[in-house]
Structure 1
Amino acid sequence: MTELLIGLVITIAVGYYIVKGYKAAGVLLTAGISLLIIAGLLGHSVLPAKVASTGNLFTDSLEYVKYMLQYRGGGLGLQIMLLCGFASYMTHIGANNVVVKQFSKPLSCIKSPYVLLVAAYIVACLMSLAVSSATGLGVLLMATLFPMMTAMGISRPAAAAVCASPAAIILSPTSGDVVVAAEKSGLPLHVFAVETVLPVSICAIIVMAVAAFFWNKYLDKKDNTPMERVDISEMEVTAPGYYSILPFLPIIGVFVFNGETIPGLKLDIYTIVVLSIAIGALVDFLTNRLNGKITLDNLESCYAGMGDAFKGVVMLLVAAGVFAQGLMTVGTIDNLLSLADKAGAGGIALMLLLTALTVAAAIATGSGNAPFYAFVELAPQLAGKLGLSPAFLIIPMLQASNLGRTISPVSGVIVATSGMAKISPFDVVKRTVVPVVCGLITVILGTLVLVPMYS
């Protein structure tokens, strides 16, 4: 229990200092390194098995910072920088203004920005079928849909929350955690994913969309949140109309190249974004009558956007990763597992306890996968002791891990979307918390109604 208390105290301290206005990256990095050092002093291994020790407790903690810079800076961080650079480039050459101008005509009949918000959320949820990474999807939506949403009158916090939320509920039947959950439930993948999880997911998405409508409308009015609805008649549009397709190239590319649509050709999101930038530059080059100097000058905005993304978003992700590793290394997750194992509760009470612990761990660590993979190992054993169906315990945990991540101010998707929107992570969490709670309640009720309790 000492490790659990240490984790809780430092987590509360992190929240306190971030709310007080301290830079989030520095707070998270300091807390994470402190947790790693404390974990080492308590006899825990500071580094994961795949990272070689330096031979010293303090330098091991710094070694993990280096590892996170390489892992997130070169992986997810590169994706974020590319997409932020692409978004800056689209703004600089005027493509985003063209999109707003053209879409404003068919959307002008919709007077409420909150109806547009719900429509954007549904589209974003469908995008999760093509992009499995919550953070990757959030960044993609921030680079493509976010400028249009804010220009159409949706507040920045509400628009960022839409981009952060679509992966809160799992739709894809082939995502890694669904495959693991099906295996631990002892059910065939198609039965577990399509016949059991999907109906619950659809119900939760509908409820969350309705909750997002009313909650964002309430907060905008209560906080007097400034709207950025653009007066289309006064908008200066210098780019030609066909530029409107350019901001959507990454989304089109995901659907076309991230599978076997074209036999033998499959591109990952990194190459898709690079290709989108290249196509944009080629179109700009032809539009400017083969003036290479103007084209290359315009491309500088892309590089500047990438640099801003590293400073404002990627370092936050690195710091959040170090903090999450510190919490797990010090034993916080293991202590939560111990609490679940000792719970002598009935079927429904045990399901609620496991779900609550999974949400708590996801909020604390900012990870959806780590808490779920830890707790799912325990579920079949606990289900066996009480004669329960493992799926009855696992389905709420599966959804709870992703829902909890969506209201964690240190999760990758919240950090990335808030950083790109230039607002506090807590502003995004404030917008997602009520829809997430409504979604979690729906998942629990859906499990009670649709999933047999006993095997």
Structure 2
Amino acid sequence: MMQLLGGVIVIVAFAAIIRKYETRTVLLIAGALMCLIGGVMGQFMDSFVKTMIHGSLVPTICTVMGFAFVMKHTECDQHLVHALSGLISKSHAVIIPLAMLVTWWLNIAVTSAAGAAAAIGSILIPALIAAGVHPAMAGAAILAGTWGSTISPGNTHVAFISKMASVDVMYVVLETAVPAIIASFVVAIALTLVAAVKKEGPSKARQQALESEGDASLTAKLKVNPLKALAPIIPLVILVVTNLNLPMIKAMGISKVSVPAAMIIGCVIALLIARANPQEVTKNFFKGMGEAYGSIIGLIIAAAVFTQGMQAMGLTDALLTYMKDSESIAKIAGSFGPFIIAILCGSGDAAALAFNGAITPHAATFGMNMVDLGSLAQISGAIGRSTSPVAGAAIICATLAKVSPMELAKRNIIPMLAGVITFLILF
């Protein structure tokens, strides 16, 4: 009876999230209610406080967001996007997959899906449309690339998984990078085929019609500063180089650099390159840290409380009992569960965090390890979010393309499904 009631609460919670109720509020209320019914209300606050002051999770996520705010303040992110937009606009034969892949790789540096959609989409969507690509396909190409952050050292879920598995953040990144990259190429190819079937690729007729309208917003250019364009990727280069254990790096006496340290170094270099006001850079860095704590850390806290409630109601043990006899069931649940929920509610975070908090710590029970199962859930959720018509990134891309978000979702569903299946098979 207790498990049945808990199941009802979980279903109602996810239904509320799908109906766009505030995710943190829903998870906190559901978690508190389950803890109360389970007779362990004291564990509600224990879980809340423990997550709130976590020693590695909080610094990693907050400094990454601080760095993102500095990149926006110094306009380094815009210089990077503009530097690549010229290459894309001249590559008509492969313009759609190239735009999707460029967005995917840039999303590793600009880790927020909505932030990447705004920063990258505001440049590349007009460039694609100007090249004769159908507006809906232009928006879909950028949206399809907004899950590249899944292999970023600054990704919330990567930090969460590394904490659970007691491994380094870069270990999680390097473990998942190759299958994720291959899946991204599968998405790009599938999206290109969709564009070919729908005849929405570069068209001289559309291009000429656009030129005759003289839309100045599609021809606006920024004079690119190469150093500013390189600034957003500096922390990523530092992290990868110092974590690969190359003999040359060891010989130079360079040790592994942590994510917070890499982000702060990146901010200092950006400050010098942009010759920005140190006071303003500092203000924006801490503003970003505050935003990260209020939104991302807040969501992780709420998910931890929700997970505690599931344990109190016996739901976690019931799920483990069902899954432990079949590794295939665990893999399918870890991929298609977050994928489908993310499509419905527009967020890959809630489903992936709930799954990783409740199920992933017990991965060994059904023949897997925490890094594999946790990464499977978080990447599948992110791919699903890049398919959802109600995701923030989709709404931004649709607005920039001046089409309905549903038009983007229709074009992305097959490519993204191909991507999640590819990742499942490879991983």
Could you say whether these structures have the same fold, taking a TM-score greater than 0.5 normalized by the shorter chain as the test?
A: yes
Larger Rg: 1
2:89 pairs with one of 102, 105, 108: 108
The whole-number CA distance in structure 2 between the counterparts of 1:69 and 1:233 is 46
Q: Which residue of 1 aligns with 2:66?
A: 85
1:275 Cα offset (Å): 0.9
Correspondence list, 1:19-34, <5 A: 19-34=18-33
The whole-number CA distance in structure 2 between the counterparts of 1:315 and 1:216 is 39
Correspondence list, 1:21-420, <5 A: 21-38=20-37, 40-41=38-39, 57-71=40-54, 74-111=55-92, 114-120=96-102, 123=105, 139=111, 147-148=119-120, 150-153=122-125, 155=139, 158=143, 161-166=146-151, 206-211=185-190, 231=217, 233-235=219-221, 240-260=225-245, 261=249, 262-285=252-275, 294-340=277-323, 350=326, 352-359=328-335, 366=353, 367-368=355-356, 371-379=359-367, 402-408=375-381
Residue ranges of structure 1 left out of the alignment (5+ in a row): 42-56, 128-136, 181-192, 222-228, 289-293, 344-349, 380-393, 448-455
Amino acid at match of 1:273: M
Amino acid at match of 2:68: A
Amino acid at match of 2:235: P
1:434 Cα offset (Å): 5.7
Partners of 1:85 and 1:303 within 8 A in 2: yes
Residue correspondences, number: 353
Partners of 1:204 and 1:442 within 8 A in 2: yes
Q: 1:123 to 1:243 in 2, by over 3 A?
A: closer
Q: Secondary structure at the match of 2:36?
A: helix
| Per-residue CA distance 1:375-428 (angstroms, 9 max, x = gap) | 43244xxxxxxxxxxxxxx59x9866533333448x9999xxx789998xxx99
Cα RMSD for the two superposed structures? 5.0
Q: Secondary structure at the match of 1:377?
A: helix
1:209 Cα offset (Å): 4.4
Partners of 1:144 and 1:248 within 8 A in 2: no
The whole-number CA distance in structure 1 between the counterparts of 2:81 and 2:180 is 32
The whole-number CA distance in structure 1 between the counterparts of 2:179 and 2:292 is 36
Q: Secondary structure at the match of 2:147?
A: helix
Amino acid at match of 1:405: Q
| Per-residue CA distance 1:273-320 (angstroms, 9 max, x = gap) | 0111112223344xx7xxxxx332344233323323322332122212
Q: 1:245 to 1:107 in 2, by over 3 A?
A: same
1:159 Cα offset (Å): 5.8
**Higher helix fraction (1 or 2):** 2
Q: Which residue of 2 aligns with 1:47?
A: none
Partners of 2:88 and 2:99 within 8 A in 1: no
The whole-number CA distance in structure 1 between the counterparts of 2:99 and 2:315 is 37
Partners of 1:36 and 1:330 within 8 A in 2: yes
Partners of 2:97 and 2:188 within 8 A in 1: no
| Per-residue CA distance 1:330-377 (angstroms, 9 max, x = gap) | 332321232246x7xxxxxx5543433444776756344863452432
Partners of 1:35 and 1:330 within 8 A in 2: yes
Amino acid at match of 1:319: A
Q: 1:2 to 1:305 in 2, by over 3 A?
A: same
Amino acid at match of 1:8: G
Partners of 2:64 and 2:263 within 8 A in 1: yes
1:436 Cα offset (Å): 6.1
The whole-number CA distance in structure 1 between the counterparts of 2:272 and 2:178 is 45
Q: Which residue of 1 aligns with 2:418?
A: 438
The whole-number CA distance in structure 2 between the counterparts of 1:400 and 1:213 is 30
Amino acid at match of 2:13: V
The whole-number CA distance in structure 2 between the counterparts of 1:87 and 1:254 is 16
Residue ranges of structure 2 left out of the alignment (5+ in a row): 126-137, 153-157, 167-173, 201-214, 342-350, 397-404
Q: 1:7 to 1:165 in 2, by over 3 A?
A: farther
Q: Which residue of 2 aligns with 1:15?
A: 14
Amino acid at match of 2:364: V
TM-score by length of structure 1 reads 0.60
Q: Displaced runs of 4+ in structure 1, greater than 6 A?
A: 140-146, 197-203, 214-219, 360-363, 411-414, 418-423, 430-433, 443-447
Q: 1:244 to 1:406 in 2, by over 3 A?
A: closer
| Per-residue CA distance 1:67-120 (angstroms, 9 max, x = gap) | 11112xx53333232222222222222222322332222222234764134423
The whole-number CA distance in structure 2 between the counterparts of 1:306 and 1:116 is 32
Query: Identity over aligned residues, as a percent?
Result: 19
1:257 Cα offset (Å): 2.9
